[in-house]
Amino acid sequence: ENVNDPEISKPVNIGFPLMKPSRAAQLGERLAHLKKQRENPELERLSRERKLEIDLEQVREDWLNTSGPFHIRRAAEHYGVFEHLFGAAYFVPRVELRIRYETSEGGSDDSEATTIQHPVRYGNLLKPTETRSAPIVEFDGRFQFHGGGSHVANKTKAEPDWWTLVLTNPDGHLESSEHEYCHWFLGNIPNGDVSKGETLMPYLQPFPTKGTGYHRHIFVLYKQHEGRIDYSQYRCTDRPYSLTERTFRTLDFYRAHQDRLTPAGLAFFQCDWDASVTAFFHDRLGRPQPEYEYDFPRPYIRDQEWFPQRKPFNLYLDKYRDPAQIRKEYLVRKLAQVHPFEGPDKPLRFPNAHSIGKDVPSWLRTEMRKDRLGWGRINDIK
């Protein structure tokens, strides 16, 4: 058996160095601040009158300047982001990525529509319907990486700072588990102005296939060290929806440019299938939508007996039947009660208050009650 050497297999930090602030120093500052606030009578009065307002932006700024980057790293490790993108490597996100999707709801006129924002955090859930259009991305393009975690911008620097932003999905490749799909590739972004970046791959909405669960969609921000980088080999041709051209591998990309790139920012969300994915496959990709079903291991069922004791005969016999056949029978029974031109029957307010009939056997009576309440196998065809 091969024994892993902890020194050799230890993950490597490929990001910018960030020394964790002293816990004793942080605690001292917090205690001093707490003492000062307790001696403030105005603060006590506002709190008593319920007029005290907390500046949440300042709270977030303090968090990002202290333990925030390490919390983000732990969240990314929990979701396997570093392992599946960079292998045995990680980085502490130094630059805050502020990403949000916007959708409109209500009103036929643009002036009456309501804009809803869907921010991207660190593993939150978004739907493909909410992420159809390219998001709004903001970050500090003049971030200084020297010393501590303070966000200090060098406004007088003449030479622009160049950045690269990549959105990739490591869970959704249709042909290879070792590759990803690149949904968005912006290179040579000057001073954090995403609108002026070079679009190598235009934005492609998430399309998690049905039955595959949640897919991670990961934004990685890289800092360029030696000016502009030639990314022409990654540029999409005239086929923006070609999945072959969007096949990507973050580890190979980073290895090819590791001397000129350093990962600096991170944000990601999770996305699962909805009805808009079906339209995307048909209208954009021009192909049928694949659907997957997890093949669970068959449970152990003991050999059938001629005379089983104390076992409901209908449940006992169903254990030895094909589940697909049972679901088909439920579906046929449901379709037999559906009229092609009339809507469904109004659901009963008190289902089991209605009489079933005296001639119905007890086992069938129980099944009818369960169907009325929506319990058991009836849910397979809803």
Beta strands in 150-279 (DSSP E): 162-169, 180-190, 198-201, 215-224, 247-248, 261-271
Indicate whether 237 and 317 sit together in one domain.
Answer: no
pLDDT, residue 118, reads 96
Q: Is there a domain that residue 13 lies in?
A: no
What pLDDT is stored for residue 107 in this prediction? 61
pLDDT tier, 305 (very low <50, low <70, confident <90, very high otherwise): very high
Q: Which of 259, 104, 228 is nearest to 163 (CA)?
A: 228
pLDDT of residue 154: 47
Q: Are residues 179 and 252 in the same domain?
A: yes
> Which one of 265, 285, 305 terminates a domain?
285
**Residue 88 belongs to a domain:** yes
Judgement on whether residues 318 and 256 belong to the same structural domain of the protein:
no
pLDDT tens for residues 64-110? 988 899 999 999 999 999 999 999 999 999 999 999 999 988 765 65
The answer to whether the beta carbons of residues 200 and 117 sit under 8 Å apart is: no
Q: Are 146 and 279 members of one domain? A: yes
Does 260 share its domain with 148?
A: yes
Asked whether residue 299 is assigned to any structural domain, the reply reads no
Residue 36 lies in a domain: no
Give the C-alpha separation, 371 to 60, whole Å: 50
Torsion angle defined by CA atoms of residues 335, 339, 340 and 343, in that order, rounded to the nearest 10 degrees: -110
The letter for the amino acid at 171 is D
215-236 burial, b for 16+ CB within 10 Å, e for fewer?
A: bbbbbbbbbbeeeebebeebeb
Mean pLDDT over the full length of the chain? 89
pLDDT of residue 153: 47
Same domain, 158 and 278: yes
Residue 317 lies in a domain: yes
Based on the domain organization, do 318 and 279 belong to the same domain? no
Q: Is 90 exceeded by the pLDDT of residue 142?
A: no
Considering its fold, how many domains does the chain have in total?
2
One domain, residues 268 and 349: no
Instruction: Flag whether 307 is in a domain.
Output: no
Residues 246 and 362 grouped into a single domain? no
- 157 has a pLDDT exceeding 70: no
CATH code of the domain covering residue 193 = 3.90.280.10
Check: CB of residue 128 under 8 Å from CB of residue 273.
yes
What per-residue confidence (pLDDT) applies to 150? 43
Whether residues 120 and 243 fall in one domain: yes
Domain hosting 328: range is 313-381
pTM: 0.77
Q: Are residues 319 and 273 in the same domain?
A: no
pLDDT band at 250 (very low <50, low <70, confident <90, very high): very high
Is residue 252 located within the same domain as residue 209?
yes
Question: Is 217 among the domain residues?
Answer: yes
Q: Is residue 271 part of a domain?
A: yes
Q: What is the pLDDT of residues 120-134, one digit of tens each?
A: 999 999 999 999 999
Rounded to whole angstroms, the Cα distance separating 21 from 105 reads 45
